[in-house]
Structures are given as structure tokens and as C-alpha cells.
Structure 1
Amino acid sequence: MTKLFVVGTGPGAADLVAPRARAAVEASTDLVAYGLYLELLGDVCDGKTHHDLPLGEEINRARLALDLAASGKTTALVSSGDIGIYAMATLVFELLDRQLQGQEDQPEWLDVEVEVIPGISAMQAGASRVGALLGHDFCTISLSDLLTPWQTIEKRIHSAGSGDFVVSFYNPVSKKRDWQLNSARDILLQYRPAETPVLLGRQLTREDESIRIIRLDQLDAKDVDMFTLVSVGNSESRRIVNGSREWVYTPRGYRKKL
């Protein structure tokens, strides 16, 4: 049986790539990815056949990876962060599901052994940079309405607000989408204080990383781009300052026991 590794390589720093992810890349002859992800991996990709498909070609990437593996090539489909969170793993299984439902004509895909290897997600990397923002219940919401109707996204933001979850927003803005983040801010302000801490983490763990901690009422889409993670604390999240260092944490309720 041929092998397809579906690999999450973490937020960007080489030393945050899991050993199992590195081993999968090393074991593969062919690598399918958006080119930047392979550049971040560095030397471990040397000597491999690279199949670099641009952003927007996610379906073709998944198809190509399955085709390569089905042809007998040990293949790694690579994505940054965790490949199961807003990334390529779901497409692989959707295509396999379609094949089982008779909606694809690629029976050889079903002979491929698929192994999904997780990676550190941007929300985890961001939270670690500022302390313990994800210390209590949290959720993630993608603000991209390319695949999900805005009405559905809006409903989920209200649910996260009423449930008082820490919320990490993925795909907060793009060149063609610049209004959803401010709408999400206004919704959350209905449920939590204006001073609620917000993390803006850009290019997390990479050479040009930048970290900002602001208030929820200061959040503005003009300060965010597609490389930025936005994480909003819940009503109890606290911002603390020690000299030039500041942290954010979300208490779990230990205060009653202290």
C-alpha cells in the first residue's frame, strides 16, 4: 500500500516542527505544498521533488497528492500550522468520501494509506507568546466567507460571545475582505468589556514576527493582514504588566482555591 503523509509543520520556526512531521518529509520522495511552506522547512526538503501550487489551488493540491501517492510515490502534502485546522487534511478526506460515494473516478485513491501528522496551530503559538490566553474554554472562527456564508459566521460569533469563549479568528482579512473583522468586533463588544485584551500576532515564530496586545474596542481591520492571527480574550481574561513585559492569561477558577 502506498503512503500519503498529510503533514502540519507548525507556525514557522524550524524548531517547532514535530519530529514525526520531519520524519515524514524525510521519508517522502514528493512534496506537495504552497512554496512558502517548503521554504520554511529548509534543508529537510532538499533532494525531494517539489510540487508547488499557489494559494487558491487547494483542491488541485489535494488531488495531486492523492494521485502521486496512488502512483506509488511516497508523498507528503504539507501545510503550515496544524493541517487539520482550516487546512488541507479536510480536502483529502472529502475527496476520498466523494470517491466512495461514486462522485469521483479515481478508485486507486482508496488504496492509499493516509497518515495525518498534527502541528502547532497559530492560536497555540500566539497564546504562548503572551502567556496563557487559552487557559480556559476557547474556540476558533474563520472570518472568510468564500466557503461559508456570512450569516453562518455571524451566528457563530454571537454564540462564542454569549458562551464567553476566548475566540481566535483565522483569515481575519484579505485584499478583497476588509469588513468582517470589524463586524466581529462589534458583535463581541455586545458580550464583553471594551478593555478585553486582544492579541495581534503577525508571522508568529518567524523572523519578522510582531506581537501586539490591544483592547477589544481598539481592534481595527486596517491594522491586520492575512498573516495575522487575532485572538480575543473572554470576559475574565487579564492583561498584566511587569516592567517592560506584559502578559495575558485567562483564569480557570483557581482563585477560589488560592
Structure 2
Amino acid sequence: MLTAVSLGPGDESLLTPAAREAIENADVVAGYKGYIALVPPELLEGREVVSTGMMGEVERARQAIESARAGRRTVMVCSGDAGIYAMAGLLLELLEADGLLDEVPFEVVPGIPAFNAAAALLGAPLMHDFASVSLSDLLTPWEVIEKRLRLAGEADFVIALYNPRSKKRSDHLRKALDIIGESRDGDTPVGVVGRAYREGQSVHLTTLESLEPEMVDMQTVLIVGNSATRETGGRMLTPRGYHRKYDIKTTG
């Protein structure tokens, strides 16, 4: 059995019972070393740990698959949700490419993705249609990312931005904000959440024109509001539309 297990944003209280059970039942726990560190230590006791550094995704995925083929219950741990910008897709691709879909049982245990964690800390910014875009061009051409940003902006989606700024891609975020700004006012609220539910957590509410890219790193998720999003009581709110259908104001 090979299982992609979602750890959630990082706080142990947000690790689902299903994820905990999958790790408890595993013989082997594989994952990026930074995500292995998010696993409660007691869950790693008595289990083989297979970890690699950044850019070692294919290597650890193949190690996990071989472990599962050998009859060992193997889990691949991922931060957030394993099926969102994480390892579930690569595992399934490799099983498909090697003709192992019928030989290796495979499942995914869902979890709380980063944009959900960020949204909870900001208030209620994802109450209407939204798009999620990663600014990493390691696997996706930048021209494609620009097109997605532009169309999402024109369609008035709330936009969650993953992998917004690294040392090698220090200018991508500024370019992305400029593209979104082609169809959005400068005072559009933007939530900036770093290390959600982990040590060093930060939560800031700013605007599209005031955001300073230097305050952002790869462990940050940004949520850019749509034309209806507003700041209220220090929170970020995107109305669902109830005010157009019902009288939501109290009287007296």
C-alpha cells in the first residue's frame, strides 16, 4: 500500500485523525525533510524514515514506490493537502508510467491546504469563486503563469498565490501583482500569511498597491481580493452575495 498523506499547515491540532492513523499504520514514512519535521515525533518511532532535500521529489517518490512494491506499508507525507501542489500527482504519474497501477494499491488522505489555513487567519476571503496560481516556473513556463494570472484577474476571481517569491525569482511577485493590477483597483485588499499555524506565523492585511514584495518568501501565501472584497474589523471579507437576496441588517 502506498498512501499520500496530508499533514495540513503544520500545527499538530490540524492533523486529521485519518492522516494520523495512516502514519501509525505505516512501516515506512517518506517525505521532504522539512515536512518530516512536521510529523509528531511519536509517530515516527519504530518506522523507517526516507527523506530527501528540495528538488529530490522524483528520487523519494521512486523510493516510496519500491518500498510499497516490496509489501511495506508506505506513506508519503506532504504539507497542506497532498493533492494540491504536492506529491500525490507525481506518485500517480510514476505508477502510471511504470505500469504499476494494478500492482501497487494507492490512496490519498486529504488535509487542510495552505490557502484554507491562510483564509481562516484572514477572516473570510474565499467566500466566492477563487483561483489558485503558483508563481514557481520550475515546472510551468512563466508565459503560462502570466496568462493564468491575467485571465483570473479579468474574471474577477479572488486569487491565492503560492510560491510567491524566492531568492532566484525575486521579481516574479512584482510582475504578478502588476498583471493582476491591470484589471483590479490599487486599493484591493491583499492578505499576506507566512508560516500559517507554524512557529513564526505572520498575518498582514494590505492592498495591491501598498504590498512590499520584500516581506514575502516561499513560505508565504497571498490572497488577492476581487472587486467585492473589503477589509472589515481588521479582517478580509469577500461577500457571498446574501445581501442581494436577503435583508441581513438587523433593526431596532
TM range, smaller chain? over 0.9
CA distance in 2, matches of 1:48, 1:213: 42
2:30 to 26, 29, 32: 32
Tell me the secondary structure at the aligned position of residue 69 of structure 1.
helix
Return the offset for 1:36: 2.2
Question: Which residue of 2 is the match for residue 248 of structure 1?
Answer: 236
- Say if 2:217 is the partner of 1:229: no
CA contact (8 A) 1:181 1:220 kept: no
Return the offset for 1:240: 0.9
CA distance in 2, matches of 1:178, 1:165: 25
Question: Which residue of 2 is the match for residue 161 of structure 1?
Answer: 153
Q: Which runs of 5+ in 1 are unaligned?
A: 101-106
Question: 1:1-258 residue pairs with structure 2 within 5 A?
Answer: 3-42=1-40, 43-100=42-99, 107=100, 110-241=102-233, 246-256=234-244, 257-258=246-247
Counterpart code for 2:165: V
Single out whichever of 73-82 and 43-52 deviates more from structure 2. Answer: 43-52
Return the offset for 1:98: 1.3
Q: Structure 1, residues 138-167: CA drift from partner, whole Å, max 9, x if none?
A: 010010111111110000001100110011
Q: Which runs of 5+ in 2 are unaligned?
A: 248-252
CA contact (8 A) 1:140 1:168 kept: yes
Return the offset for 1:32: 0.4
Single out whichever of 112-121 and 33-42 deviates more from structure 2. Answer: 33-42
Tell me the secondary structure at the aligned position of residue 67 of structure 2.
helix
Return the offset for 1:46: 1.8
Return the offset for 1:13: 0.5
Counterpart code for 1:129: L
Question: Which residue of 1 is the match for residue 250 of structure 2?
Answer: none
Tell me the secondary structure at the aligned position of residue 111 of structure 1.
coil
Q: Structure 1, residues 187-221: CA drift from partner, whole Å, max 9, x if none?
A: 11111111111111111001211101111112232
CA distance in 1, matches of 2:36, 2:139: 26
Runs of 4+ with deviation above 6 angstroms: none
CA contact (8 A) 1:143 1:181 kept: yes
CA distance in 1, matches of 2:108, 2:115: 19
Counterpart code for 1:130: L
CA contact (8 A) 1:7 1:83 kept: yes
Counterpart code for 1:78: V
CA contact (8 A) 1:198 1:231 kept: yes
Return the offset for 1:97: 2.0
CA distance in 2, matches of 1:38, 1:26: 14
Tell me the secondary structure at the aligned position of residue 38 of structure 2.
helix
- TM-score, length of structure 2 as denominator length: 0.94
- TM-score, length of structure 1 as denominator length: 0.92
